[in-house]
Structure 1
């Protein structure tokens, strides 16, 4: 697989892909880190992508609620199963 040629991309558009700010994780960028409130979808997106993108699951909190409830349900089932198996 060929590596992306940054000079070629720069010739195709006005977008500067060599900007050092774009290479940082999103949470460390000056434009993001203003102690703003983020929704659940943004939080899950940041966690899943390793802080690279906050919009993977969209802008509404619906996907975030889905993932949160899924994790809580899975953990609850694991705990209940563990407790029921170790009962005398």
Structure 2
């Protein structure tokens, strides 16, 4: 399984958009695999709630989730996204 440092921010935004598309028309199995991958990649304690059940006022767009993950990982001293 890839690490978050294998993704640029743009690629991660696309990954989130793929999750949302599969959520609408894909199988539960495929969605489950993508959500598990998201949780593992981000390591964020809120996991997929960042996308589906955000805190009040939190931006849950693909860009907003990516920004939240990036800021949280930096604050934790964890690796971030790869440079373009």
Question: What TM-score do the two structures reach when normalised by structure 2?
Answer: 0.29
Q: Which has the higher helix share?
A: 2
